[in-house]
């Protein structure tokens, strides 16, 4: 006996408005199937979905021209942009104060008209997830700003640190932008096609930091102090009232080896420059002189370190095998120390047994510094 | 029991996922803040279940538990002017004598650091999640597939492991075609059909062309090889004419030996010519000649000189027969192919452009560039001309720990995500309370 025909599979009663949205309401790939089609079954939940997609959800279908289009920017009930609602309210209030009558409503305003008269977006409108106000879609670098960063670093030969301080972009980001731009230029040079339409579409959906040579807009805070683990504790540290208890001292209290905030921020040179200009009141020449002196010192330090590293490298005798490079370093048997347990000794890193539980071991300190 | 739907509508608390799906968007719009009913354990359980459905749903629970850390990264933006003007002693000065200033009012959301939103920061380090965050894939699962299918490189090397934890400074690159497919609109039925037909036609044409090409190439290679041999033969002085008459027999044998060695060299040169390797049949012949040369060499000192000489002559003639000199064959063909002079083409181009104003021209040029960048191509797996897929704009954001260049579909993982006063860099749809409950769930003592 053939299976009875089920009406659900034959008569699909999706609402007509949802027809375009529902993927499976078109031609069926299995026109003679008698299995109830779960995809097409119209439940209350699905009706709700399609109702939402045709009303409030319609806002998100296409990107909003000239603005971001996040859910946090919309009033969830009416499906209208919050800033548009506010602007309307503001207008009506103004009119009420002036004592004018409200003009006749001209039906539904067209989307284009809306886009033209859209009030500027604020930080509140950049919340993609309405329940999490702590996450906002932060601006990305605009194409012009990226090009500028690249040209300042690669063409004018400025250091990453300078460019970062000038354009208010993190140093790591400056480096990344230059790296990526270089690849982009290389692609252009060899004629590899760029994903231009995609890039254009994405950039139109994102908030951007513009570039204006006369008025630099800060992209992000460049002097971020990472919160150190040892500063997470509250310490009661009694000290005399007369003592000048500075950041340096506070850092020492938290951890003996912790540096003060002045030295842990990415741009300590900005602090020094500001101090010289405002507190010490130095003129331009003096400041320049000092900056040069500092640069020379840094250079000297770098050279010293490089020389030390080169010397250490030269001390290693290298023998090239077919597969391995054998490296021989001179050792001194005395490095192992009197008890043979010194960390300079050979094999120390491969595990020196701990004898602290065996008899006759001295466990109290052997020296007092 | 059948598997639960990925984007289910049925649940009272629908699951929000890492995708750009419209069902997902609807679920986001329906999301409610959790009511604090039930025991603390129940609340934590629910929060954990809801947050894990979004954060690293593709990661096994045990794996995530190993990744979880109670250390949450945060930064405090410092003002260099403040640091320059104060050394910090002003905060401690006057403590206890009434000089200290109390902060006004309660701490607001602008001053508080949302540490709890950083609970799932370790998952953001994963390669698949980073690809999704850079807007290169429409879901974390799709990003994962791109990685496993070998469409992703990290620092220029193929990286097939979606669980690779990016290090600060790592650059990852996804194939632009995959990105366009992931973020572009899907084809409709007719477009799919047209694309399939186009591909089939192309395949047929390609096989035909390949056959023709191989035949042509064979001919060309033959010609090159012939030319080479002819040149070599021409460059070398003919062995018979300039040779002086040998009086000494040992001297004559030495001469023959040199001849034979020269022959071996020639054969070897033909055999090992990488640019125009001889076909298999020709190779067999050449090897045969080689063998005979060696045979002659072995009996060089035993047989009379005249006999050896005749055998050498025979070998040389065979070699020349194999490669008759016709070096001009290819040159004649090349001359035929370039027929149209350049001036003619330029004239055609000029005659076809009617007069336009400068502005119109510029607009037209832009339009041409646009259409060239975004052409109609039925063979692509996405709808062409490319357009972003619907509902993408609601999900389009790029967190600050990534620097993305969409033109080349590459991004750099700058640093680990951090929290700062008033802002958390881990994108999460959940409220602080829910994240706190989830964080407490994963602390070992619960």
Rounded distance, CA B180 to CA B374, Å?
11
Q: Is residue A345 scored above 60 in pLDDT?
A: yes
pLDDT at B93: 76
| Phi-psi map region of B120: left, alpha, beta (phi>0 left; psi -120 to 50 alpha) | alpha
| Predicted local confidence at residue A116, as pLDDT | 64
pLDDT of residue B219: 94
Q: What is the mean pLDDT of residues B78-102?
A: 82
Residue from the list B75, B374, B391 with its beta carbon closest to the beta carbon of A60:
B391
Q: Is the ipTM of this complex over 0.90?
A: no
Token pair of A117 as six digits:
């008269």
In this prediction, residue A101 carries a pLDDT of: 64
Contact of A168 with A218, CB cutoff 8 Å: yes
Query: Comparing B245 with B50, which gets the higher pLDDT?
Result: B50
Tokens representing residue B297 in the block: 């060499």
More confident residue, B441 or A340: B441
Chain A contact probe: residue of B178, B407, B421, B434 with most A CBs at under 10 A? B407
pLDDT at residue A36 in the model: 65
pLDDT beyond 70 at B98: no
Residue A259 touches partner B, C-beta closer than 8 Å: no
At residue A170 the predicted structure's pLDDT band, cuts being 50, 70 and 90, is: very high
pLDDT at B446: 53
Inter-chain touch A198–B92, beta carbons under 8 Å = no
Residues of A in contact with B406 (CB under 8 A): 195, 198-199, 202-203
List pLDDT tens digits, range B226-263. 998 888 888 765 555 445 545 567 777 888 888 888 88
pLDDT of residue A113: 54
Which residues of chain A have a CB within 8 Å of the CB of B373?
193, 196-197
Summarize pLDDT for A152-165 with one digit per residue, the tens. 999 999 999 999 99
Q: What is the mean pLDDT of residues A235-261?
A: 92
**Distance of alpha carbon B184 from alpha carbon B381, whole angstroms:** 9
Asked if A60 lies within 8 A of B393 by C-beta distance, the reply is yes
Give tens-digit pLDDT for A97-132: 887 665 555 444 445 455 567 889 999 999 999 999
Percent of chain A whose pLDDT exceeds 90? 64
pLDDT tens per residue across span A71-93: 999 998 888 999 999 999 999 99
CA B36 → CA A237, B42, B50, B434, distances in Å? 40, 10, 14, 10
- A168-172, A300-304, B222-226, B293-297: range with lowest mean pLDDT: B293-297
Using the beta-carbon criterion (under 8 Å), do A71 and B28 form an inter-chain contact?
A: yes
Helix (H) or strand (E) holding B75: strand B75-77
**A250-297 per-position pLDDT tens digit:** 999 999 999 999 999 999 999 999 999 999 989 999 999 999 999 999
Residue with tokens 């010194």: A342
pLDDT band at B323 (very low <50, low <70, confident <90, very high): low
A229 pLDDT more than 70: yes
| Mean of pLDDT values over A319-334 | 90
The residue-averaged pLDDT of A234-239 equals: 91
With bands split at pLDDT 50, 70 and 90, how would you rate the model's confidence at A357? confident
Chain A residues whose beta carbon lies within 8 Å of the beta carbon of residue B171:
176, 179-180
Q: What is the pLDDT of residues B289-301, one digit of tens each?
A: 888 888 888 888 7
pLDDT at A20 over 60: no
The phi-psi region of residue B275 (left if phi > 0; otherwise alpha if psi is between -120 and 50; otherwise beta) is alpha
pLDDT digits (tens, 9 = 90+) for A34-75: 776 655 678 899 999 999 999 999 999 999 988 999 999 999
Q: Which of B4-18, B232-246, B399-413 has the highest mean pLDDT?
A: B399-413
Whole-angstrom distance, CA of residue B229 vs CA of residue B266: 8
- Give pLDDT, residue A37: 63
Whether A173 and B403 lie within 8 Å, measured CB to CB:
yes
CA B436 to chain A, closest CA, distance in angstroms equals: 13
What's the CA gap between B92 and B298, in Å, rounded? 103
| Cα–Cα distance measured from residue B127 to residue B160, given in angstroms and rounded to the nearest whole number | 10
Q: Which two tokens stand for residue B362?
A: 């510029």
CA distances from B242 to B229, B236, B245, B266, B300 (A): 21, 11, 9, 20, 22
To which residue do tokens 């010397």 refer? A311
Average pLDDT of chain B to the nearest whole number: 85
Q: With contacts defined as CB-CB under 8 Å, which chain B residues touch A43?
A: 9-10
Decide: B427 and B54 in contact? Cβ < 8 Å: no
Tokens 């905060």 sit on residue: B91
pLDDT tens digits along B202-219: 999 999 999 999 999 999
pLDDT beyond 60 at A235:
yes
Which pLDDT value is given to residue A55? 93
Instruction: Report helix, strand or coil for B424.
Output: strand
- Residues of B within 8 A of A239 (CB-CB) are 92
pLDDT at residue B340, as a whole number = 41
Q: Is pLDDT of B76 > 60?
A: yes
- Model confidence, pTM: 0.74
HSE (side-chain half, CA atoms, 13 Å) at B376: 3
Predicted pLDDT of residue B96:
65
**Please, what is the Cα angle at B415 between B410 and B418, to 5 degrees?**
125
**B354: confidence class by pLDDT, cuts 50, 70, 90:** low
**Shortest Cα–Cα distance, A27 to chain B (Å):** 10
Residue A219 is predicted with a pLDDT of: 96
Domains annotated for chain B, with CATH where assigned, are 22-75+109-183+392-442 (3.10.290.10), 208-331 (no CATH)
Concatenated DSSP letters for A270-330?
HHHHHIIIIIS---HHHHHHHHHHHHHHHHHHHHHHHHHHHHHHHHSEEEE-SS-EEEE--
Q: What is the pLDDT of residue B336?
A: 39
Q: Tell me the HSE value of B156 on the side-chain side, using a 13 A CA sphere.
A: 3
For residue B426, the chain A residues in CB contact (below 8 A) are 135
CA distances from A258 to A255, A269, B60 (A): 5, 19, 38
């Amino acid at each position: 006996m053939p299976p009875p025909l089920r009406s659900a599979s034959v008569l699909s009663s999706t609402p007509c408005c949802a027809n375009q949205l529902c993927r499976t309401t078109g031609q069926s790939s299995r026109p003679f199937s008698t299995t109830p089609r779960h995809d097409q079954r119209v439940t209350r939940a699905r009706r709700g979905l399609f109702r939402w997609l045709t009303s409030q959800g319609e806002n998100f279908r296409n990107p909003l021209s000239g603005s971001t289009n996040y859910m946090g920017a919309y009033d969830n009930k009416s499906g209208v942009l919050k800033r548009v609602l506010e602007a309307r309210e503001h207008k009506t209030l103004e009119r009420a104060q002036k004592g004018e009558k409200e003009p006749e409503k001209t039906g539904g305003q067209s989307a284009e008209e809306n886009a033209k008269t859209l009030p500027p977006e604020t930080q509140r409108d950049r919340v993609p997830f309405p329940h999490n106000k702590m996450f906002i879609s932060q601006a990305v670098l605009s194409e012009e700003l990226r090009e500028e960063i690249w040209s300042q670093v690669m063409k004018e030969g400025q250091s990453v640190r300078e460019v970062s301080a000038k354009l208010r972009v993190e140093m790591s980001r400056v480096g990344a932008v230059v790296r990526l731009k270089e690849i982009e230029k290389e692609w252009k040079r060899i004629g590899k096609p760029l994903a231009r339409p995609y890039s254009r579409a994405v950039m139109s959906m994102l908030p951007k930091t513009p570039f204006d040579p006369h008025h630099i807009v800060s992209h992000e805070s460049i002097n971020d102090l990472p919160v150190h683990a040892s500063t997470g504790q509250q310490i009661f540290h009694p000290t005399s009232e007369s003592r000048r208890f500075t950041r340096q001292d506070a850092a020492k209290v938290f951890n003996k080896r912790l540096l003060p905030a002045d030295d842990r921020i990415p741009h300590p040179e900005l602090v020094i420059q500001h101090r010289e200009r405002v507190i010490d009141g130095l003129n331009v020449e003096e400041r320049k002189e000092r900056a040069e002196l500092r640069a020379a010192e840094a250079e000297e330090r770098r050279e010293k370190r490089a020389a030390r590293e080169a010397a250490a490298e030269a001390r290693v005798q290298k023998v090239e095998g077919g597969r391995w490079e054998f490296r021989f370093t001179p050792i001194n048997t005395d490095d192992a120390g009197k008890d043979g347990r010194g960390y300079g000794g050979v094999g120390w890193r491969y595990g020196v047994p701990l004898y602290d539980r065996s008899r006759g071991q001295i466990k109290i300190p052997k020296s007092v510094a | 029991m059948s598997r639960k739907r990925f984007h289910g509508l049925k649940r009272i608390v629908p699951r929000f996922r890492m995708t750009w799906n419209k069902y997902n968007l609807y679920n986001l719009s329906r999301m409610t803040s959790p009511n604090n009913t039930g025991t603390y354990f129940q609340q934590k359980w629910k929060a954990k279940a809801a947050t894990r459905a979004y954060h690293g749903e593709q990661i096994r629970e045990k794996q995530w538990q190993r990744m979880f850390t109670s250390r949450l990264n945060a930064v405090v933006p410092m003002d260099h002017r403040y640091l320059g003007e104060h050394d910090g002693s002003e905060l401690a000065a006057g403590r206890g004598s009434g000089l200290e200033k109390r902060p006004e009012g309660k701490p607001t959301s602008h001053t508080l650091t949302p540490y709890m939103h950083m609970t799932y920061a370790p998952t953001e380090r994963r390669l698949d999640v980073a690809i999704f965050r850079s807007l290169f894939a429409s879901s974390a699962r799709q990003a994962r597939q791109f990685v496993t299918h070998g469409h992703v490189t990290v620092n220029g090397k193929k990286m097939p492991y979606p669980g690779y934890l990016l290090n600060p400074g790592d650059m990852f690159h996804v194939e632009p075609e995959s990105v366009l497919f992931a973020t572009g609109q899907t084809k409709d039925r007719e477009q799919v059909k047209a694309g399939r037909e186009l591909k089939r036609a192309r395949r047929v044409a390609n096989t035909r062309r390949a056959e023709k090409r191989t035949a042509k190439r064979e001919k060309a290679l033959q010609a090159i090889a012939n030319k080479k041999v002819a040149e070599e033969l021409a460059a070398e002085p003919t062995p018979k004419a300039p040779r002086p008459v040998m009086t000494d027999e040992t001297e004559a044998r030495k001469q023959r030996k040199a001849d034979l060695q020269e022959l071996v060299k020639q054969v070897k040169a033909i055999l090992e010519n990488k640019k125009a390797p001889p076909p298999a049949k020709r190779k067999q012949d050449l090897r045969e000649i080689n063998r005979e040369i060696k045979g002659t060499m072995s009996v060089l000192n035993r047989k009379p000189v005249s006999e050896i000489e005749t055998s050498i002559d025979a070998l040389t003639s065979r070699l020349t027969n194999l490669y008759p000199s016709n070096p001009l064959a290819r040159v004649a063909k090349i001359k035929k192919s370039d027929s149209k002079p350049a001036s003619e083409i330029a004239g055609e181009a000029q005659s076809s452009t009617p007069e336009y104003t400068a502005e119109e021209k510029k607009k037209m040029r832009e339009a041409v560039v646009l259409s060239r960048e975004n052409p109609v191509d039925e063979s692509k797996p996405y709808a062409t001309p490319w357009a972003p897929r619907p509902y993408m704009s609601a999900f389009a954001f790029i967190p600050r720990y990534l620097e993305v260049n969409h033109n080349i579909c590459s991004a750099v993982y700058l640093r680990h995500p951090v929290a700062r006063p008033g802002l958390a860099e881990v994108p999460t749809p959940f409220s602080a309370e829910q994240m706190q409950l989830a964080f407490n769930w994963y602390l070992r003592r619960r």
